[in-house]
Structure formats: structure tokens, C-alpha cells
Chains A and B, each alone.
With several copies, the nearest count.
Chain A
């Protein structure tokens, strides 16, 4: 289980290698990459800034990972989340899940993203090419997505 919060870009193959290199017991690897979309609310995006809560961020991501390992048979997981200034097309978040079986890998990766989106203390601020912008509103659909996993209340 690995968690990284970083300003640098990430590479998906390197993320996979970090948790699978040298192992021959893994059967399925699922990755999720979230990227900055170049258009938001009908406006072209210039950049996106990600603020976070140092300390709590890492603690929440570790809790998210631990939850996934409780629910599914996983060999290893990796979460990388970027902070700071990001450009359209760049990766924001990377989740990598290694499991003996594909359905566990898919479900765990999907769960990690749903959980992370509603629990991990990150906030996005968009700046449009026309200079306008502001903080991104949370989506109710993200809360609904988390609810389907029937988590115990924290």
C-alpha cells in the first residue's frame, strides 16, 4: 500500500511497476487516471490549481486504501494525487490496483476513486482562459457513488 501526494507528473507504467515489479502472483492490474479537462461549464480552461490539507490528505488516502484491502483480495495498491498547478490534459490522480482476479481489481479501483472523491481533502480551483474562474463545486453524484458501497458511518 503506497500513497503519494506530489506536484510532479506521474507515469502509469511506472506506477504499475512500483507495485508489481518482480512479482508473478498477480493476474489483474487495473489503473484509473483522472485528467484535467480543457473545458468546464462551457469555458476553455487555462489551468487548475489543487489545494490540499497536508497531513490529513495522506491519512485519508491511507484509510481509503485500508478500506479497499478489507473488502477485496488485493495484492497491492498505489494512489498518487497531484497538488499545485495543473494544465489541461495533465493527470490529476492515479490509482493502481493489483489482484489475482479481474473483478476484484475493477471493483476496488472504482471504490477507491469514489471514496477518494468524497473523503480526501483536495479542492480544485479553475481559471478559464478569459480570466474568470473559481472553486469547483462538489457534485452530489459523487456522494451517491460512494453510497453504493454501503460503508459504515465514520
Chain B
């Protein structure tokens, strides 16, 4: 991120019912510098429209990964190239 840039490109991915509610599996966004954490990003997305607001209506049950590693809602997006949102996993 060059100093002074207001946004930077980030890939968002959605899985399972989060994907179904958002309506897309993947999208590229221009992340504003003001969106610093995963929780911030959930808030920012929820303000984008009813599909997002619905998908993130219960943020406590949403799990997130940054660059394919599990993170908490307080995690910083500073190094994020890919952010994923999904329900608790149910494999195995």
C-alpha cells in the first residue's frame, strides 16, 4: 500500500450459507483505509445492502480467515490480500 492511497484491492470470499445470503462466492473490493479490522469489514459490508446485512446479521456466528488462516474479529486487515467469511465448519 503506497502511502497516501485511500483504498487497496482485497479479495473477499464467502462460503456455505454466508455465500448464499450474500449472493456471490467471491468479489474484489477496494478496501478503504478506515476499515482496519475484520469486525470493521463486517460493519462496512453490512452497510452495503440488505443481502450483506442479512448475511452478517449475527456477527458472533460468522467465522473469518485472512489469507487462508483463521482469525478473530479483532484481527487487523493490514496484510490482508484475501478475506473469507463463513459459518462454523462442519466437515469430517
Q: Is B90 an interface residue (CB 8 A)?
A: yes
Residue interface mask B64-92, A partner, CB < 8 A = 1: 01001110000000000000101111111
Q: Is B16 an interface residue (CB 8 A)?
A: yes
Interface size for chain A: under 10, 10 to 19, 20 to 34, or 35 or more residues?
20 to 34
Residue interface mask A112-140, B partner, CB < 8 A = 1: 01001111111111000000001111100
| Contact among B16, B84, B90 for A56, CB-based, below 8 A | B84
Smallest CB-CB separation from A93: which chain B residue?
B92
| Contact among A59, A81, A134, A154 for B91, CB-based, below 8 A | A81
User: Are the CB atoms of A53 and B90 closer together than 8 Å?
Assistant: no
Once the chains are docked, how many angstroms separate the CA of A154 from the CA of B88? 16
User: Are the CB atoms of B92 and A123 closer together than 8 Å?
Assistant: no
User: Are the CB atoms of B91 and A120 closer together than 8 Å?
Assistant: yes
Known contacts A59-B68, A154-B70; A121 and B86 CB within 8 A of each other = yes
Once the chains are docked, how many angstroms separate the CA of A56 from the CA of B70? 9
Once the chains are docked, how many angstroms separate the CA of A51 from the CA of B86? 11
Residues of chain B with a CB closer than 8 A to A53's CB: 13, 15, 65, 68, 84, 86
Known contacts A56-B65, A121-B65; A116 and B16 CB within 8 A of each other = no
Residues of chain B with a CB closer than 8 A to A81's CB: 91-92
Residues of chain B with a CB closer than 8 A to A87's CB: none
Query: Lowest 6 A-B CB distances belong to which pairs?
Result: A122-B91, A138-B88, A56-B68, A123-B16, A117-B92, A136-B90
